[in-house]
Amino acid sequence: MNVYEDRWERAGRQEPPSVVDNLEGDFRVERLSGPLPMPFVWKKIRGGRGTTRVSSFGPRFPFRLEQRERYVALIYLGPLSFLVDELRLEADGSWLGRANAAGVRYAWFRMVTR
């Protein structure tokens, strides 16, 4: 098991059953492994919905939040509906994420409040 899988398992033991309500705000996204996300990626989450932005002036990619067992899924809308980010709350208050395309994990990232 790699270091991020181990972190994912530890984070899953710490969070309450429903964390969607706790996931609101503006977040800076930091790449941990894989090709994406690139620098200057931000997520804005409000009321069970959100957007991912690349830079301040770049395009916005909308998603909706869905509570799943022990994690939150960010399900992208429209033509990007094959993308799903999965998040778990870590002990330090940041969110550990794994990015998936058509069910295949391609990157790990961390979200921190801006």
Please count the structural domains in the chain.
Answer: 1
Note the pLDDT tens digit of each residue in 56-84. Answer: 788 899 999 999 888 999 999 999 999 99
- The predicted pLDDT at position 11 comes to 82
Q: What's the mean per-residue pLDDT of the chain?
A: 88
Residue 104's domain is classified under what CATH number? 2.40.128
Per-residue pLDDT for 31 more than 80?
yes
- Residue type at 97 in one-letter notation: G
Whether residue 46 contacts residue 24, with contact meaning beta carbons closer than 8 Å, is answered with yes
Domain that holds residue 64: 3-113
Angle at 86 between CA 26 and CA 17, to 5 degrees: 90
| Rounded average pLDDT over 104-109 | 94
102 against 18, higher pLDDT: 102
